[in-house]
Amino acid sequence: MKKKLLGIFVYMLLIVTALPAVGTMNEKEIPASFGICSNSSDQQITKQTTMTGDRGSLFIQLPTDDLIDDWRSYVSDTGANWKTYDDFWEISSEICDIHWWGQCLIYTDDWHSYDPTGMTVQIQFYDDDNGQPGTLLYSYDSVNPSITETGIMYHYAPGDEYFELYYFETDLEPCCQVSNGWVSIQSTYCPSGGWFMWMYSPDGNKNMYQFHTGWINYQDDVSFILTDGEPTDPDLECDGELSWTDVKPGDTVTGDFVVRNNGDPDSILHWKIESYPNWGKWTFMPNASILTIGAGWLTVDVEVVAPDDPNEEFTGEIKLINAADTSDSCTIDVSLATPRNRAFNMNMLFLRFLENHPHMFPMLRHMLGL
């Protein structure tokens, strides 16, 4: 009986050190402006990191790096009778292809997402007329862009919807020559009755326009890249190892690894995590992002809730892929070991110590009946 009481005492000491953790999520308002889809939420789903450093010689406005707390996208679709324009400057060569980010959404009682596969767009270039779109110079009609599923998710709180960010690109034939001007990308067909939404960028000069029944000027920018059409191939590279030992079953452990774009100077890499071990509960921050060469190494934070099984060793790997070329991949090795039931081990080791040293602690031996 005394052995049992000692075991219960040790077990209770272990239990009282465990504390629960809880979180909350705030509901937000439906957007006031019908031409804009926007969001703000304190729930962390997927975040990129801020892009810094040299981004190469292209004209480039990347999408926002915070697709949870600070994103918005602008309708640019013939079906909705909205058209969005943004400006560019200091282009020193012909523009032979264009890249942009967005989604195919529709607003009924809430915003809903559709697969944009099959979408057609009209791309037009204008000269600059004192800080606004001027004369139409080039028009590319019924364009079918190539589409990449980036794996980057953004969150719209009112409907608890999670939308994937898509990457679009197309060659321009013939190339166009505009050193300073404006570009519009407007969907002429978006599947399932959706509308093309052009994703916001924190870059740029905070000057863009929408046209609906009249002109609307925003102190904002949308995300796009203009290039001369030369191939710029990204190269996914990751480094690190995750290893945890003596982890209590059910406990949470943390670690990190790094990932970068080691490709051509002007390349854009969309990486995402394709797979990870099927044991434990995993969280990655971020689990996908966009990387330029100038961004350097990006740290990916990892959190794992250990399996409930004691005295086990778990192994596996995390696989990252280039979303546009799944043959471009890398892996991070993972291991986690859980000990035997600690309360049981501590109790038995203590009793065994007393039995093996009968002349030590005589009063305690007497109390335990050894």
Q: Could you read off the pLDDT of 29-79 as tens digits, one per residue? A: 323 344 676 754 333 333 343 333 333 457 999 999 888 778 899 999 999
The yes-or-no verdict on residue 20 having pLDDT over 60 is: no
Task: For residue 263, give the amino acid letter.
Answer: G
Residue 43: what pLDDT?
33
Residue 332: what pLDDT?
98
Binned at pLDDT 50, 70 and 90, residue 302 comes out as very high
Span 210-222, mean pLDDT?
95
Percentage of the residues of the chain whose pLDDT score is greater than 90: 64
Task: Report pLDDT digits (tens) over 71-105.
Answer: 899 999 999 999 999 999 999 889 999 999 999 98
Span 249-262, mean pLDDT?
97
If you average pLDDT over every residue of the chain, what do you get?
82
Cα–Cα distance list, 177 to 84, 128, 132 (Å) = 21, 13, 18
The yes-or-no verdict on residue 212 having pLDDT over 70 is: yes
Higher pLDDT, 370 or 184: 184
Contacting residues for 264 by C-beta, under 8 A, at least 6 apart: 231, 232, 233, 234, 235, 293
Binned at pLDDT 50, 70 and 90, residue 106 comes out as confident
All domains of the chain, ordered by start, with CATH?
A: 36-227 (no CATH), 236-339 (2.60.40.10)
Tokens of 178: 């505009």
Work out whether the CA dihedral 334, 151, 290, 40 comes out positive or negative. Answer: negative
Span 132-140, mean pLDDT?
97
* Candidate from 107-121, 250-264, 299-313, 330-344 with smallest mean pLDDT: 330-344
* Candidate from 157-161, 190-194, 239-243, 334-338 with smallest mean pLDDT: 157-161
CA distance 86 to 63: 14
Residue 186: CA count within 13 A, CB half-sphere: 23
Binned at pLDDT 50, 70 and 90, residue 215 comes out as very high
Residue 53: what pLDDT?
36
Tokens of 182: 């404006």
Binned at pLDDT 50, 70 and 90, residue 18 comes out as very low
Q: Which residues pair with 105 in a beta bridge?
A: 113, 195
Burial state string for 140-166 with b = 16 or more CB within 10 A and e = fewer than 16: beebebebbbbbbbbbbbeeeeebbbb
Q: What is the pTM of this model?
A: 0.78
Span 342-365, mean pLDDT?
58
The yes-or-no verdict on residue 340 having pLDDT over 50 is: yes
DSSP 2: H
Binned at pLDDT 50, 70 and 90, residue 241 comes out as very high
CA distance 312 to 306: 11
Task: Pick the closest to residue 84 from 167, 191, 207, 179 (CA basis).
Answer: 207
CA distance 250 to 114: 38
Q: Where are the alpha helices (DSSP H) in 83-174?
A: none
DSSP string, 304-346: EEPPS-SSEEEEEEEEEEETTEEEEEEEEEEEEEE-S-HHHHH
- By DSSP bridging, strand 241-244 and strand 325-338 are parallel
The yes-or-no verdict on residue 268 having pLDDT over 60 is: yes
Span 104-112, mean pLDDT?
82
The yes-or-no verdict on residue 267 having pLDDT over 60 is: yes
CA distance 76 to 180: 22
Contacting residues for 357 by C-beta, under 8 A, at least 6 apart: none
Binned at pLDDT 50, 70 and 90, residue 283 comes out as very high
Residue 95: what pLDDT?
95
Span 139-155, mean pLDDT?
94
Q: Where are the alpha helices (DSSP H) in the chain?
A: 2-15, 342-356, 362-368
The yes-or-no verdict on residue 19 having pLDDT over 90 is: no
The yes-or-no verdict on residue 195 having pLDDT over 80 is: yes
Contact predicate 177/125, CB 8 Å? no
Q: Which residues pair with 196 in a beta bridge?
A: 104
Residue 199: what pLDDT?
96
